Structure 1
Amino acid sequence: MGRGRLSWNEYAVGWARLHGGFDPRKAGPLVRGWLRVSYVIGSGLARIGIPPSGVTLGGLVLCVSVPLLADRPALAAVFVLLAAMADSADGATAVVSGRATRLGYLYDSLADRLGEAAWLVAFWLVGAPGLLVVIAGGLSWLHEYVRARVTAAGMHDIGVVTVGERPTRVSVAFVGLLLAGAAELVQDDLPAGTITVVTAVWVLLALVALLQLLAAFHRALR
């Protein structure tokens, strides 16, 4: 089929090839629905000639804007959601347009890590303790680092889908800032406590996810 006109099934095959063989058609309803939306957006962007790198850059700009909006957490949450959509759409655009490259994958991963760091900076600005924020970021970085190193060691499938994958971190950032914004309407000092609890949830999920990864990879590589 022509560029920008892959069917959903063709797209799913291409997407799985870039994500450790994980077939999006077999994902849960929420993940499958999200990826279907990304496929539609990516197809539209590819059709009008927008390159994947442009979508990645746009997503990064949205992420960097999040801490700038820390005094308006609900609006910051909207920017997290838009950035997440851009993050999914850049990969979809690459697959649909046949422009997926290893360099693009590298830049996309780098943009993801910088974006998550920006969200956590926003958490800190809203009132989360700095140490807790650093631990959350460090554990999430370790999650991705371990997965990358195991791939380099020769494991080519995804291994395990943990409770702390990228979609989880997006959800925690979005819901956390949204709750902080709602808390602000009740009492001025509530957002700090709210975002602290959310950051603690991020840390807990990231820790469990890291243990899941290590256990799965230990079994696979023995």
Structure 2
Amino acid sequence: MVGRQLNWDEYATAWARLHGGFDPRAAAPVVRAWLRLAYHLGYVLGRLRVTPTAVTVAGVLLCFCVPLVVGRTPNGPFWAAVFVLLASVADSVDGAVAVATRRTSRLGYVYDSVADRLGEIAWLLAFWLLGAPGPLVVAGGALSWLHEYVRARAVSAGMREIGAVTVGERPTRVCVALVGLLVAGLTGLVQADLAAGTATMAVAVWVLLAGFGLGHLLSAVRRTLLPDAAPGAPE
């Protein structure tokens, strides 16, 4: 028998504890709807005894499909966008399964973070295959990785909250990848060479948002941790 799973209010309270106190019930309507969808899917999968790790692995595999299909046919970018969307759903649902079934763990958190970074590498690789410049693609990946690294190190240093919700967060990267691939597909149907320019623009937007987000996060981390600095410690 599957143990009693959390209802929505219990789930939202538990989810908030794991996300720096951010209550999904108080989120914007679109965000709240997305999180409720993830909860319901996670609830069903939990009843079916699907583990959070299995959902995480499925999400990574879906991400790996993005660069594999992006250039195979003229419709490749559209299929790649579908895989990005499915992967993003899996990324939300694995955590929902863990919370709803009371199976959250520190190891699962690590797995989820690694899966997110691998997925973003796959998406950026797809843009490179479409014609985006390699240095720009590398910059996008590096800034996104640094954003998550700074937050992780700040938490290990004593920051008890998420610090700040920036324009460079994971949902933003999902949106840029999804919209960028869809637009690249549309422009590619008009003229094949236009897909490369669209891919370049998408990665440029990724880099700009990641850069602004990193600056915002660094400022928030400094405000949070500086009062606790030892006397005479360098700022």
Report the secondary structure of 1:20's partner residue: coil
Stretches of structure 1 lacking an aligned partner (at least 5 in a row): none
1:174 aligns with 2:178: yes
Indicate conservation of the 8 Å contact 2:24/2:35, yes or no: yes
Indicate conservation of the 8 Å contact 2:5/2:102, yes or no: no
Q: How does 1:81-100 map to 2 (within 5 A)?
A: 81-100=85-104
Alignment match, 1:164: 168
**Structure 2 residue aligned with 1:128, among 132, 152, 155?**
132
Indicate conservation of the 8 Å contact 1:52/1:93, yes or no: yes
Indicate conservation of the 8 Å contact 1:66/1:122, yes or no: yes
**Structure 2 residue aligned with 1:140, among 124, 137, 144?**
144
Superposition deviation, residue 4 in structure 1:
5.8
Report the secondary structure of 1:128's partner residue: coil
* CA separation of 1:4 and 1:85: change in aligned 2, threshold 3 A: farther
Superposition deviation, residue 25 in structure 1:
1.2
Indicate conservation of the 8 Å contact 1:80/1:174, yes or no: yes
How far, CA to CA, are the matches of 2:28 and 2:154 in structure 1?
A: 25
Q: How does 1:70-109 map to 2 (within 5 A)?
A: 70-71=70-71, 72-109=76-113
Indicate conservation of the 8 Å contact 1:4/1:46, yes or no: no
How far, CA to CA, are the matches of 1:108 and 1:217 in structure 2?
A: 23
Alignment match, 2:14: 14
TM-score by length of 1: 0.97
Amino acid at match of 1:40: H
How far, CA to CA, are the matches of 2:103 and 2:138 in structure 1?
A: 35
Indicate conservation of the 8 Å contact 1:64/1:115, yes or no: yes
What CA deviation, in whole Å up to 9, does each residue of 1:144-184 have, x standing for no partner? 00000000000111111000100000010011001111111
How far, CA to CA, are the matches of 2:17 and 2:116 in structure 1?
A: 20
1:68 aligns with 2:68: yes
Alignment match, 2:52: 52
Report the secondary structure of 1:117's partner residue: helix
How far, CA to CA, are the matches of 2:162 and 2:3 in structure 1?
A: 28
Percent of aligned positions that are identical: 62
How far, CA to CA, are the matches of 2:70 and 2:4 in structure 1?
A: 37
What CA deviation, in whole Å up to 9, does each residue of 1:75-107 have, x standing for no partner? 100000000000000000000111110001100
How far, CA to CA, are the matches of 1:97 and 1:8 in structure 2?
A: 12
How far, CA to CA, are the matches of 2:148 and 2:89 in structure 1?
A: 20
Report the secondary structure of 1:95's partner residue: helix
How far, CA to CA, are the matches of 2:208 and 2:168 in structure 1?
A: 9
Alignment match, 2:208: 204
Ranges of 4+ aligned residues in structure 1 off by more than 6 Å: none
Alignment match, 1:189: 193
What CA deviation, in whole Å up to 9, does each residue of 1:197-219 have, x standing for no partner? 01100000000000000111111
How far, CA to CA, are the matches of 2:4 and 2:160 in structure 1?
A: 28
Stretches of structure 2 lacking an aligned partner (at least 5 in a row): 227-235
How far, CA to CA, are the matches of 1:75 and 1:211 in structure 2?
A: 34
Larger Rg: 2
How far, CA to CA, are the matches of 2:200 and 2:95 in structure 1?
A: 32
TM-score by length of 2: 0.92
Indicate conservation of the 8 Å contact 2:168/2:210, yes or no: yes
Report the secondary structure of 1:74's partner residue: helix
Superposition deviation, residue 221 in structure 1:
1.1
CA RMSD of aligned residues (A): 1.0
